Homo-oligomer: A and B are copies of this chain.
Amino acid sequence: MSDPTPTPTEPSGRQRFSRRALLGGAGVGVVAAAGGVAIGRATAAEDTAGSKIVPFRGDRQAGIITAAQDRLHFASFDVVTDSRTDLVAMLKAWTDAAERMTRGEETVPGGAVDHGDYTPPADTGEALGLSAANLTLTIGFGPGLFGPSASDPARRDRFGIAGAKPAALVDLPAFAAERIEPSKSFGDICIQACADDPQVAVHAIRNLARMGLGVVAVRWSQLGFGRTSSTTQSQETPRNMFGFKDGTANLRAEQTDLLDRWVWVGAGDNPPAAQWMTGGTYLVARRIRMDIEPWDRANLLEQEQIVGRLKGSGAPLGQEGEFDTPDFNVTSYGAPMIPRNAHVRLAHPDNLGGIRILRRGYNFTDGSDGFGHLDAGLFFIAFNRDTGKQFVPMQQVLSRQDAMTEYLIPNGSSVFAIPPGVRAGEWWGQQLFEG
């Protein structure tokens, strides 16, 4: 530990810390130094060995095809100001703080423990000593930011951006068998925080919410305790609360041609006013309560017939391995081995005109429901290039025909436009507000 140089102890016993001086060259967040203890978070330069830092800037936002981290905190905000100036100022401040937090740093240098001028600390501090934990922060803009939307049909165009609204950013239609609760749905801005340490994700959302005081208010937020999707070919397929591997046939980061076709917005997708979305994508978030108690009383054969896959291996019925191609024509005793209303059949691209989406969901458990059951399920997140042409028709088929629907209660629903990545010097939304 070289040159810790804490400043002399003040009368109150407090010390000033210089994170950079104290932590320079050390790969840890908490360092015992002669005469005191220095506190800080690991920085980019220090963390390269463990590679727990996902770059914040680039052509695409991180957190979309980034290898899915284990934990999630997703927040949806209402914009509570009519001031474009305030909103833009917040987005600029958010961008700086978000970039720093993804590096494992406080929202501003020394923000948690610098007494400075006795203003409130600029960082809430609960992530001190924790690594970056592969944190990604992904921003999105909801329909309501541009004017009328499902959550507020009378809203006007407060920020003068109605003309920049991409045609594909529209509220979802009603689907069969859903019970959407407005308190778990909609929103003007979303932040998806994914990390391998949930405290790092919660810290990030909490600090952005705090910085947004007077500009945004948390409309709803959702923790996910375990990922249910893989987004790279090297990730093992995790299991959802039905106990099944989920997302075996998901798109992967390596499938760049398919991503270009089904996820990333192309320049030809929008008129000039909405070119800020080129290279972006659209996020669909659905809070899907699972009726796990009735599910757990279904026998294994029934469960596998509903899913269309084996519970153990994840193989499509009639096949051997998880990644074997489903054969929907195989029959057993005269009936299709994969039933006509099986999830895997209905959701398969071959049966949806080739449609693909990129899934990135998480398991959740939010206490109990007051009737003796756990409130648990899947927080479904998907990215697609045109929600109306991909997620919507897929969900229209599934919500009407999928045998699994009997065990699902979608009660939260939102859509957001996810702009492309922030390039050097840019701030979140700059192309929308200044484009």
Residues of chain A whose beta carbon lies under 8 Å from any beta carbon of chain B:
9, 11-15, 17, 30, 35-39, 71, 73, 75, 78, 80, 112-115, 118-121, 123-129, 183, 197-199, 202, 205-206, 209-210, 213, 217-223, 225-226, 236, 238-244, 292-293, 296-301, 303-304, 310-322, 332-333, 337, 363, 365-368, 370-374, 376
Contact = CB atoms under 8 A, between A and B. Distances in A.
Nearest to A310: B14
- Most central of A129, A365, A370 by chain B CB within 10 Å: A365
A368 B292 contact: no
A240 B202 CA distance: 12
A209 to B, nearest CB: 6
A379 B26 CA distance: 33
A219 to B, nearest CB: 7
A240 B363 contact: no
Contact of A372 (B78, B239, B298, B313): B78
B121 A243 contact: yes
Contacts of A13: 310, 315-320, 337
- Most central of A9, A113, A197, A239 by chain B CB within 10 Å: A239
A334 B371 CA distance: 57
A125 B244 contact: yes
B241 A300 contact: no
Given A125-B311, A220-B367, A296-B120, A36 B321 contact: yes
A243 B124 contact: yes
Nearest to A115: B300
A198 B368 CA distance: 16
Contacts of A297: 120
Given A13-B319, A368-B218, A121 B236 contact: no
Given A15-B313, A126-B226, 20 more contacts: A9-B320, A12-B317, A13-B316, A13-B337, A14-B304, A17-B312, A37-B315, A37-B321, A71-B225, A75-B368, A78-B372, A112-B311, A115-B300, A124-B296, A128-B312, A198-B198, A199-B226, A205-B374, A209-B374, A210-B293
A217 to B, nearest CB: 3
Nearest to A30: B236
A73 B363 CA distance: 14
Contact of A120 (B202, B299, B332): B299
Contacts of A316: 13
Contacts of A299: 118-121
Contacts of A312: 15, 17, 37-39, 112-113, 128
A124 B290 CA distance: 13
Nearest to A36: B320
B202 A225 contact: yes
6 contacts: A12-B318, A120-B297, A124-B296, A125-B243, A220-B368, A225-B225
Contact of A121 (B209, B311, B321): B311
B37 A219 contact: no
Given A128-B312, A300-B118, A319-B13, A365 B202 contact: yes
Contacts of A238: 129
B113 A363 contact: no
A319 B13 CA distance: 6
A293 B206 CA distance: 9
Contacts of A206: 241, 292, 365, 374, 376
Contacts of A337: 12-13
A9 B120 CA distance: 65
Contact of A314 (B37, B120, B183): B37
A121 B298 CA distance: 8
- Most central of A14, A17, A213 by chain B CB within 10 Å: A14
B296 A373 contact: no
Given A118-B299, A119-B299, A313 B39 contact: yes
B368 A221 contact: yes
A11 B112 CA distance: 62
